[in-house]
Amino acid sequence: MKKLFLAWQDPISRAWFPVGRLTYENGWYEFIYLRGAEEAKKIGFSGIWSLNEFDKVYRSQELLPVFSHRIMRKSRPDYPDFISWQNLSEAEDDPMVLLSRSGGKKVTDNYEIFPYPEQDENGVYHLYFFTHGFRYMASETIDKIKKLEVGEILYLMHDAQNSFDQDALMLRTKDFYLLGFCPRYLLNDVFPLVQNHRNSVEVKVERINLPPAPLQMRLLCHLIVKHDDFKPFSSEMYESLAVPIFS
């Protein structure tokens, strides 16, 4: 079973909530709301258009519009570049894969998509993400990205003075160049490991994209976690508001 999460951010407070879960199995997509949606509702979240019942299981053999509209059309001339920026081949055009790598962000709303980490035969978790916050970084950071090498180790550093998120984690190189932020959806699960079991978490450079790749797709990272206490996305915010058919 393939599994993705949908997050919503309040544009005013910048508070962030996981609000839904999308799964795909046996030719069927299934979407359900999460408890995070109830919390988000307290500050203005009203649900997704046409999916306005929080306690309902939505099933379809077609990808729901809130997700399908976030995938670039193959007919666009820049589609091959879009695929390569995500370190995928044009044969890897599964919608769930494309959404998990790209994040599905649009300037017209406040949603983001992220995947459940894949677990290999040794129990090690793997997740790929683009670094966040490049628009806040110095120009030297953009230049430094060009000099990185695939497979290079990056280090997670607590951004203790971050006024928006006290658990924010920045990425840096061995020679202390700051390269943006670890995605917020990882903080609740990864931050405790970085604080107490640092050797169980590793981040490597997966791909470097040069212009004309947009800033938000310049640096693709590979997160590797090996620790028995790592139970990703298992907090109460991720509890289902409906009884899913796919468990």
pLDDT one-digit tens code per residue, 78-110? 999 999 999 998 888 899 999 999 999 888 899
For residue 84, the model assigns a pLDDT of 95
Residues 90-125: b if buried by 16+ CB within 10 A, e if exposed: eeeeebbebbbbbbbeeeebebbbbbbbeeeeeebb
Interatomic CA distance for residues 108 and 118, integer angstroms: 30
Report the CATH number at residue 211: 3.30.70.2330
Say if residue 105 is in the same domain as residue 159.
no
Say if residue 101 is in the same domain as residue 153.
no
Residue 97 parent element (H or E): helix 95-102
Determine phi and psi for 14, rounding to 5 degrees.
70, 15
Q: How many domains does the chain have?
A: 2
Check: CB of residue 205 under 8 Å from CB of residue 244: no
Say if residue 146 is in the same domain as residue 93.
no
Say if residue 91 is in the same domain as residue 163.
no
Range(s) of the domain holding residue 143: 118-231
Interatomic CA distance for residues 152 and 163, integer angstroms: 30
Query: Residue 149 domain-assigned?
Result: yes
For residue 168, the model assigns a pLDDT of 86
The pTM (predicted TM-score) of the whole model is 0.92
Say if residue 1 is in the same domain as residue 26.
yes
Report CA-CA distances (Å) from 164 to 16, 83, 177: 11, 32, 22
Confidence check: pLDDT of 121 > 80: yes
Say if residue 174 is in the same domain as residue 186.
yes
Amino acid sitting at position 148: L
Query: Residue 22 domain-assigned?
Result: yes
For residue 247, the model assigns a pLDDT of 56
Q: How confident is the model at residue 159 (pLDDT cuts 50, 70, 90)?
A: confident
Q: Which two tokens stand for residue 63?
A: 């990808």
Interatomic CA distance for residues 91 and 11, integer angstroms: 36
For residue 59, the model assigns a pLDDT of 95
Q: Which two tokens stand for residue 39?
A: 């919390």
